[in-house]
Amino acid sequence: TGWSGPVGEHKAISWSPPIPLVEVQALAHANAATVNDVLLTCVAQTLRAYLHGHGAVCQSVTWDVPVNLKPFDPSLPVELGNSFALVQLELPTDHDDPLRTLEVVRRRMGRIKRGHEAVVDFGVQAVFSRLGGRLYRVAIDLMANRAVGVLTNVPGPRAPLYVVGRKVEGMMGWAPTTADQAMSFTIYSYDGKVFVGLAADVGLVPDHEQIVEGFTAAFRRMQSLTARRAG
C-alpha cells in the first residue's frame, strides 16, 4: 500500500469537525451494531477511498487496537497504572458497500470481545517487559510492525467541562505510534460529540488530511444507505 517502510522524522496531524453522538447511536441502532462498530466501519471506508485514490488496492489493513482488561472506574484508583492489551484488528478495505463492511467489522470485533486474545496478548507483553532493554526493543518493534498503526476509541466526559468559567468546546488526542508504524487513528467522544484525530508520517502517508475528510463522508454515506434501506 505504500504504508510499509521506514518512517521519517516529519509527522503531521489533522482532525475532523465533530459528529453528533446521537446520530452515531441512531445509525448503530438501525443496523443492530455498536457505536464502536459504526465508527470503525467509517475508518475502513475512508482508508479504502484513500487507497483507491492513490492507486493502491488491498483486502484489509491491520491495526493495533487497545482493549481494556479492567472495568471502567471514573474515580481515581488507589494504584495508578493501565491494564490493557493491544489486539490486532484487520479492517476490511475490499468492500465498497459500507453496510457490508459493517457486517465484517461487527463479526471481527465480536470475536475479539468473546475470545481470549486480549488476555493472551497482555501476558505476552508482560513477558516482553522483563527482557533486557535491547531484546525488549526488538520484540516490541517486531510486534508493532505487523500493524499500520494504532486505532483507538476513547470515551471522554459526557458532560461539558469548564476552565475558569469558560466551556471547553472540544477535545482531541493523537495515539502514539512506535517502530515503523505509519499512522494512528484516534476517535474521541466528549459532551455528545465525536471527534477524529489522525497522526501520520508525512513520507508514508501523503495527503493525510484526505483520510480525516473521508471519515465524515463515509459516515454520511452510511446514514444515506441505511435510510434508503429502511424506506
**Terminal Cα-to-Cα distance of the chain (whole angstroms):** 38
φ, ψ (nearest 5 deg) of residue 60: -160, 160
Residue 226 has pLDDT above 80, yes or no: yes
For the chain, what is the radius of gyration of the CA atoms? 18
Percent of the chain scored above 90 by pLDDT?
A: 62
Could you give the angle at the alpha carbon of 93 between the alpha carbons of 97 and 172, nearest 5°? 100
pLDDT at 6: 92
* Cell triple for 68: 481494556
CB 87 within 8 A of CB 26: no
> In which band, very low, low, confident or very high, does the pLDDT at 139 lie, cut at 50, 70 and 90?
confident
pLDDT digits (tens, 9 = 90+) for 15-68: 989 999 999 999 999 999 999 999 999 999 999 999 999 988 889 999 999 887
Residue 145 has pLDDT above 70, yes or no: yes
Q: Is the pTM of this model over 0.85?
A: yes
Residue 164 has pLDDT above 70, yes or no: yes
Return d(Cα 20, Cα 35) in angstroms, integer: 12
Could you give the angle at the alpha carbon of 212 between the alpha carbons of 211 and 216, nearest 5°? 110
pLDDT at 71: 67
Q: Given the DSSP bridges, would you call strands 183-190 and 149-155 parallel, antiparallel or unpaired?
A: parallel
Count CA atoms within 13 Å of residue 34 on its CB side: 12
